[in-house]
């Protein structure tokens, strides 16, 4: 029998939705012994067993098939953030299986551990999910537990990652629930430079000192800092660059900063950027502008100039409204009928389609639906407008969303699907915002002096050892790491549970376990 740190276990635990072992690593560091884990992803199971030296027979498999759990002290679960309903809640614990939160609480009620830690995405505390969260807490209370939830950022507890999650902590005994205190954030934070494999963190400190010596100061000698999108503003300059055409700022890189353009073309782009969110041009948060709109802002702008920006793939030309020729209507699909019914005075406006709730609920592709109507002559364009070609901020530009400098305190949330976020190890010693951006474009972007984070760095960003065993394929290991909990956060939560004294008076922990075949449905 394996003992935590070679000693007899302080407590035992069961690891539901175990992933690659984040909960396990954290609890074992606090003296816990894992009795069983539950996971269905083959990659996650392989990684879990390889890194914990655990036989695959300890896996209970699909949680929906588990009938009961053996006696244990702490139950952990990183419940997947799937959509679920609260229908049937009056049927009781024996009848509400099949929804993963319900399955988790069913096993909590059945096994009655002393405490539990459940983790989920921050969206669970969104006001739109108020009923869902209340339902979960009510079910936990019905199972006989005193619980509360906490919204924590992993950055505050030992990893250089902006990862906000909800943690629900519960106790069977109210005495210990009342004693539980959420740990205070760490004073000394881990920075991005601390985990970059090809960079010395000491170089960042020197760079900040050199830059601060040249930064403008007020009458009291204090650095005049600028409004920053970043969490790190020690030198007054943002520590990452954002690639998109829809926002502006001294650390925003636009397509016209990358593509060779004239000052005149840049001016036209900024004119669109400045005005596209004004209500005078439409009801959406961002609206395309017609040639007439541009000319009302600057009467020297020509259609040829706008079309040249379209040719450069900075702008795109799109249909904004249509007249409807009802004489050509024959058979229509359900989606086509819905869109045509949204016309007013025989005119169909794109804004109305994009804002319509029924179109959103039914997930109708507007562009695909109207194309056949245009080809059949049912829809006849009566107004064209110009917008930026790249209108999805999260996608970025040309495969790049953000590039983080080594001076950054923090990296964005790691997600299973990966992102277009990059890092550079190039240190920029800039005198002002304009110089900062110019140096970045010339020294980092144009020279391709940036890269994605490595597998080793991703592990450390989540609090795992850099040599944690994972698949070689990027998409596979990124999915595993992105779905994991941040190990240091679970560590401090487990320690806080132990600090209540919950296991101080318990007799020796028994680790006799029923055989697995008695626990799982066949």
Closest CA to 276 of 267, 266, 285: 285
Residues 397-435 as b/e (b if ≥16 CB within 10 A, e otherwise) read beebbbbbbbbbbbbebbeeebbbbbbbbbbbebeeeee
For residues 72 and 24, what is the distance between their CA atoms, to the nearest angstrom?
14
Rg of the chain (C-alpha set)? 28
Q: Assess contact for 144 and 99: CB atoms under 8 A.
A: no
For residues 153 and 161, what is the distance between their CA atoms, to the nearest angstrom?
8
Longest C-alpha distance within the chain, in Å?
86
For residues 292 and 280, what is the distance between their CA atoms, to the nearest angstrom?
13
For residues 38 and 246, what is the distance between their CA atoms, to the nearest angstrom?
44
For residues 76 and 102, what is the distance between their CA atoms, to the nearest angstrom?
14
Half-sphere exposure in the Cβ direction for 86 (13 Å, CA):
12
For residues 248 and 243, what is the distance between their CA atoms, to the nearest angstrom?
10
Residues 107, 109, 113, 116: is their CA dihedral positive or negative?
Answer: positive
Instruction: Tell me, yes or no, if 81 is annotated catalytic.
Output: yes
Q: Assess contact for 45 and 91: CB atoms under 8 A.
A: no
> Exposed, middle or buried, 501 (CB in 10 Å: 0-12/13-18/19+)?
exposed
Task: Tell me the two tokens of residue 410.
Answer: 């923090």
Q: Assess contact for 124 and 166: CB atoms under 8 A.
A: yes
Query: 81, 269, 459, 494: which one is catalytic?
Result: 81
Q: What share of the chain is helix, strand, coil (3-state, %, to 5)?
A: 40, 15, 45
Other Cβ atoms less than 10 A from the Cβ of 341: the count is 10
Q: Please list, in sequence order, all residues whose beta carbon lies within 8 angstroms of the beta carbon of residue 15, skipping any fewer than 6 positions away.
A: 21, 23, 24, 27, 34, 36, 37, 38, 76
Name the CA dihedral angle for 284, 286, 289, 295, rounded to a multiple of 10 degrees: 120
Q: Assess contact for 37 and 58: CB atoms under 8 A.
A: yes
What residues are labeled active site?
81
């Amino acid at each position: 029998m394996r003992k935590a740190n070679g000693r007899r276990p302080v407590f035992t635990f069961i690891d539901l939705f175990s992933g690659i072992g984040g909960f396990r690593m954290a609890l074992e560091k606090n003296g816990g012994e894992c009795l069983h884990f539950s996971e269905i992803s083959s990659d996650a199971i392989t990684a879990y067993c390889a890194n914990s030296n655990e036989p695959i027979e300890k896996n209970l498999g699909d949680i929906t098939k588990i009938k009961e759990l053996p006696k244990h002290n702490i139950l952990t679960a990183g419940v997947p953030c799937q959509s679920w309903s609260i229908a049937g809640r009056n049927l009781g614990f024996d009848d509400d299986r099949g929804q993963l939160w319900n399955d988790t609480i069913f096993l909590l009620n059945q096994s009655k551990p002393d405490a539990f830690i459940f983790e989920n995405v921050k969206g669970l505390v969104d006001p739109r999910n108020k009923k869902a969260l209340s339902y979960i807490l009510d079910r936990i209370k019905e199972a006989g537990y005193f619980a509360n939830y906490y919204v924590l950022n992993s950055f505050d507890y030992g990893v250089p990652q902006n990862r906000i999650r909800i943690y629900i902590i519960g106790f069977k005994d109210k005495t210990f629930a009342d004693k539980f205190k959420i740990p205070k954030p760490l004073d000394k934070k881990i920075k991005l430079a601390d985990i970059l494999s090809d960079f010395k963190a000491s170089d960042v400190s020197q760079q900040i000192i050199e830059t601060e010596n040249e930064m403008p100061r007020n009458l009291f000698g204090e650095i005049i800092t600028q409004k920053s999108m970043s969490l790190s503003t020690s030198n007054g300059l943002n520590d990452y660059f954002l690639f998109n055409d829809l926002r502006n700022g001294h650390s925003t890189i636009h397509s016209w900063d990358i593509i060779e353009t004239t000052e005149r073309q840049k001016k036209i782009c900024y004119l669109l950027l400045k005005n596209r969110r004004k209500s005078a041009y439409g009801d959406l948060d961002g609206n395309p502008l017609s040639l007439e709109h541009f000319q009302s802002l600057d009467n020297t702008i020509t259609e040829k100039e706008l079309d040249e920006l379209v040719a450069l793939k900075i702008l795109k030309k799109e249909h904004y409204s249509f007249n409807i020729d009802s004489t050509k209507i024959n058979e229509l699909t359900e989606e086509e009928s819905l869109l045509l019914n949204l016309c007013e005075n025989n005119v169909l406006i794109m804004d109305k389609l994009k804002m319509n709730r029924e179109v959103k609920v039914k997930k109708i592709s507007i562009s695909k639906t109207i194309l056949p109507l245009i080809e059949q002559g049912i829809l006849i364009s009566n107004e064209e407008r110009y917008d930026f070609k790249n209108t999805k901020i999260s996608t970025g530009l040309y495969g790049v969303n953000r590039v983080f400098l080594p001076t950054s305190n923090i990296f964005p949330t790691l997600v299973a699907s990966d992102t277009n976020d990059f890092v550079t190890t190039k240190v920029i010693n800039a005198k002002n915002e304009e110089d900062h951006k110019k140096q970045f474009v010339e020294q980092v972007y144009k020279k391709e002096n940036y890269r994605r984070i490595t597998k080793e760095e991703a592990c450390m960003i989540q609090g795992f050892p850099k040599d944690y065993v994972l698949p070689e394929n990027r998409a596979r290991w990124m999915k595993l790491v992105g779905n994991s909990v941040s190990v240091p956060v679970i560590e401090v939560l487990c320690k806080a549970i132990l600090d209540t004294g919950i296991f101080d008076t318990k007799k020796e922990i028994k680790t006799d376990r029923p055989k697995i075949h008695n626990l799982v449905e066949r």
